[in-house]
Chain A
Amino acid sequence: MHVSMSVNGREVSGDVEPRTLLVHYLRENLGLTGTHVGCDTGYCGACTVHVDGISTKSCTMLAVQAEGAEITTIEGLASNGELHPVQEGFWERHGLQCGFCTPGMIMQSAYLLAEDNNPDEDTIRHGLDGNLCRCTGYHNIVKAVQYAGARMRSEEPDAPDWEEEGT
């Protein structure tokens, strides 16, 4: 089947098997490998992208269902060489280790903060509970989102919670 959509501001189109998942179309047809596949059941959230501005697990959607949609992936989040505040927050607050869940986690966090840029910790934690991370225990992910929220409100982020040590 023929499919066309806008991905990261670029018009793309091509022929796919009807059963092709959106995530496979992004990764294998468009080469956008920043969006990851971590499970078979729509549970881990590593494949999270924005479809018409809505945070969406791209393994739960067929490519043909995205006909005409505007897709943003992790590769399209930074603009004009500037990181999105959530990307900056993940770097500043050590919100990632292996980095595999990170694109989905960042896309979901950006969506949460677009809805409400001043969420409390509980809201952040429940807002991210569809995205699994096995490395960080979420501690620094929450800090990263709080950092990004502060930046989006043009406030000074809280200080990091680590201390310098000498050896």
Chain B
Amino acid sequence: MTSTISPTTTTSALGGVVHRKEDPALIQGHGKYTDDIKFTGEVAAAFTRSPFAHATINSIDTDAARAMPGVHAVYTIEDVRHLGTLLAQVPVGALRPLLADGVVKHVGEAVAMVVADNRYLAQDAADAVSVDYDPLEAVIDLKDALSDRVKVHDSLDSNLLISWVGPFGAEPEDQQKVKADIDAAKEGDDVVTVSQEMLNQRLIPVAIEPRAVVADYNPGYGSMTVFSSSQIPHALAGAIGKTLGLLSNQVRVVAPEVGGGFGAKLNVYSDEILVSWASMQLGHPVRWTETRREAAHSTVQGRGWVATATIVGTKDGEILGYQLEGIADMGAYTQNFTVAIPFLGLFVGSGQYKMPTWWKIDCVTTHTNTTDAYRGAGRPEAAYYLERIIDMYAREIGMDPAEVRKKNYIPNDQFPGAVSPVGFAMDTGDYGTNLDALIATSDYAGLRAEQKKAREEGRYLGIGLSSYVEVCGFAPAGLAELGFSWSTYGLPAAFSGSGLVRVNPDGTATVQIGTGPSGQGHETTWAQIVSDRLAIPVEHVKVRHGDTGDSPMGIGTFGSRSAAVDGSATYEASQRVRAKAAKMAAHLLEASEEDVVFANGGAHVAGSPDSSVTWAQIAEIAYMPHKLPEGMEGGLEASVVFNPSNATWPFGAHLAVVEVDAETGNVDLLRYITVDDCGNVINPMIVDGQVHGGIAQGVGQALFEEALYDETGNLLTGTLIDYPLPTAADLPTFELSRTVTPTDINPMGVKGIGEAGTIGSAQTVVNAVVDALAPLGVKHVDMPLRPRRVWQAIQEAKG
């Protein structure tokens, strides 16, 4: 058996498959994640956590823990109250105290922190901290919470933190008029109204790498070095600095290899602050790594909506209006983007459609763990309700669901710049072509024929469809137009995309970006961008990221934003380096600057490939400026902040084929077919991979996953045994294709792909299951569609 050490790479330019530069380390066990990086003299932290969802703390007895061998310190809120609360970028609601302050508000809330010689001893001591609680009534149910029968925070007027209402930006009376007009339409002749309350259940993100952090404060240098499993190292550095009274340039945060994020690591956590603070107190590096059970109880969760979707439309498929009204669960404390997540749903509240839309989601606080971003973050929820109710409407009027969708799309002549019914201007779109591509590639007519045959055989085969539109690539200009004021944000951090490109003296290039990737392949994709512009081979481009000590400011990796914003910045920075190098090459080649062409690792004169210089030769004069012509600046480096005029709006259409066993309720996902449109594609292999993973998470929500709390606030699904993720045996091979509608707001025409698979998929699967069971009269089943729930729905439909 023989092996090559280097995989086959076919192309190096934009749009070509380049095998990942990240992989050699990761496939040989040499990747270094936070828990793999040791500091001399480090000690370990562990937390004592609340077993109650709501309880008064009468006393905390730490004596026994302090007396245990190897224990350095035990801290409670009394030790850290002066530091203030945990900071958040959208601080609407009650911010989290660093440790529970008098009252615990969710199961798993940290009450005390122990630091000991190692993690075994620290956990032993954390278990020995004795807390005297008086349990109080907890509010878990969303409608109950909205009633304010039990308040979560005395400091707030209500459990209702904020309501997001669309059309966004309209005056309240105009929003009400939209609602009233849709209500009036329901009274019209020959119209059909379909309405359904649906649960979009809470989920646990479950990055396979648990969160980990280690902090090393050096009092001599006055420097704080923190390694953390974070998607937002710059924001974390800002939060640590502001909380601990350090200047931002005293704090260096490194997100080394990060083992998945999915939004859960798009947050600043109290453990990150406390470990850093403890390092200053103790004079040791301090480490903490969460257990999986802790991850379920104290790392943020996602989704958690209950809402009623309503469509009114004609009997021939023209949708006259859409309303969504419901409640979203924020959990007990507001963290980084908590209340902003449903707002992201509002951005895509009317999907790809043109019908008048009224949309209202109330964000309520409950005695549960905090919710925040989870892959898609508000957009999967919005797409779920809209695309489920469209399917129900199609069934009600007896029209094919693909036909109904196509009939109501925003037409192409509205682009670029179509303003959606919920009030947002979108860059580019071509929805009909995209759906047609799905119809063709899936042989939709053939599938329907197959379904007909299956039904005749007594088999329950279902076909589900969904369209979706996504919003991503956020950056300040686009948000400022929506009325966001950055001065209201609660922690000092950039909200921009940046790229720094440098050609080194040996003709290689180094790229520094302010992102915090967790598997998205930035080292490869960014190398392609630079290689495309400078004709330096991909293998000679090194991409550095996730280190606030050596990267330009950036907000991190989330919201499918990195390529569209930081990638565009890197593209522009490469252009600047190229322009500067063209002058130098022209000097060396004794040619006109306009005639310089970059190719094959250097530059040559147009039409004369033999008259060439290498990048190393150009770099030599760049870094030996006395060799440059009079007045030319040395160096080959540029840094650009890219500020796009809008977000980007990818879209797509998905199709699922399922077979349901009506005797057991078991759902078998047979095929999953997608046509996504993320604009231009830099690396098709990486883009496909993002879609695969996104689909799996959407299918996981549809079929398996649920963060389930009992009425007293105990999380019943705190381990991977109770919280089943999709396994390899649960999923089929996916069938992917694309349409390409480039954006007009960035130089590469790229939109973003990180979340598309998730936004399109949960409702696609549910639509397929309900389609399968339609002959039995099943109209809706709430997720997750585990066998028992499907079986029950079948029994209920049968009466």
Contact = CB atoms under 8 A, between A and B. Distances in A.
**Binding site secondary structure of chain B:** loop
A134 B15 contact: no
Given A99-B257, A129-B727, A137-B731, A88 B209 contact: no
Interface in B196-251: 206-210
A164 B4 contact: no
Contacts, number: 231
B209 A94 contact: no
B7 A91 contact: yes
Contact of A92 (B19, B257, B726, B738): B19
A98 interface: yes
B748 A167 contact: yes
A103 to B, nearest CB: 5
A19 B120 contact: yes
A49 B539 CA distance: 32
Interface stretch (A37-45, A50-58, A61-69): A37-45
B727 A132 contact: yes
A98 B719 contact: no
Interface in B632-686: 680-682, 684-686
B2 interface: yes
B684 to A, nearest CB: 5
Contacts of B22: 99
A71 interface: no
A75 B25 CA distance: 10
Nearest to A84: B3
B693 interface: yes
Nearest to B737: A163
Given A40-B292, A94-B686, A167 B720 contact: no
Contacts of B757: 137
A136 B692 contact: yes
Contacts of A43: 719-721
Nearest to B695: A137
A131 B208 CA distance: 10
Interface in B496-537: 518-521
Nearest to A33: B36
A98 B518 contact: yes
**Binding site secondary structure of chain A:** loop
Interface stretch (B90-98, B258-266, B270-278): B258-266
Contacts of B411: none
Contact of A41 (B208, B519, B721): B721
Interface residues of B, number: 82
A157 to B, nearest CB: 10
Nearest to A35: B29
A91 to B, nearest CB: 5
Contacts of A17: 120
B31 interface: yes
B33 interface: yes
B28 A34 contact: yes
A142 B261 CA distance: 23
Contacts of A133: 208, 728
B212 to A, nearest CB: 10
Interface in B707-746: 719-721, 725-731, 733-734, 738, 740, 742
In the complex, which of the residues A37, A103, A162, A167 has the most CB atoms of chain B within 10 Å of its own CB atom?
Answer: A167
B21 to A, nearest CB: 10
B281 interface: no
B4 A167 contact: no
Given A32-B29, A94-B686, A162-B17, A101 B721 contact: no
Contacts of B1: 85, 151-152, 154
A165 B689 contact: no
Given A125-B729, A137-B695, A164-B15, A98 B258 contact: yes
A130 B727 CA distance: 8
A33 B16 contact: no
B693 A135 contact: yes
B390 interface: no
Contacts of B24: 91
Contacts of A103: 29
Interface in A1-53: 17, 19, 27, 32-41, 43-44, 46
A40 B1 CA distance: 37
Nearest to A100: B259
A166 to B, nearest CB: 5
Nearest to B29: A34
Given A41-B292, A134-B207, A106 B729 contact: no
B543 interface: no
A91 B721 contact: no
A38 B3 contact: no
A83 to B, nearest CB: 5
Interface string A80-96: 01111101101110101
A82 B3 contact: yes
B32 interface: yes
Given A97-B519, A125-B729, A142-B733, A73 B260 contact: no
A52 to B, nearest CB: 20
A17 B28 CA distance: 29
Contacts of A100: 33, 207-209, 257, 259-260
A36 to B, nearest CB: 7
Nearest to B730: A129
A99 B31 contact: yes
A32 B29 CA distance: 8
A85 B29 contact: no
B300 interface: no
A99 B30 CA distance: 10
A119 to B, nearest CB: 12
Contacts of A165: 15-16, 681, 684, 738, 740
A134 B206 contact: yes
22 contacts: A41-B719, A44-B292, A44-B720, A75-B28, A83-B27, A85-B1, A88-B4, A91-B27, A92-B7, A98-B208, A99-B23, A100-B207, A103-B29, A128-B729, A135-B693, A136-B696, A137-B731, A138-B726, A161-B688, A165-B681, A167-B680, A167-B749
Given A87-B27, A101-B259, A132-B727, 17 more contacts: A19-B120, A32-B29, A75-B28, A77-B28, A91-B23, A91-B27, A92-B8, A94-B685, A98-B209, A99-B519, A100-B33, A100-B260, A102-B27, A124-B728, A164-B16, A166-B14, A167-B681
Give the top 10 A-B pairs by smallest Cβ distance, nearest first.
A34-B29, A100-B259, A98-B519, A99-B26, A97-B519, A137-B696, A74-B29, A33-B36, A137-B692, A129-B727
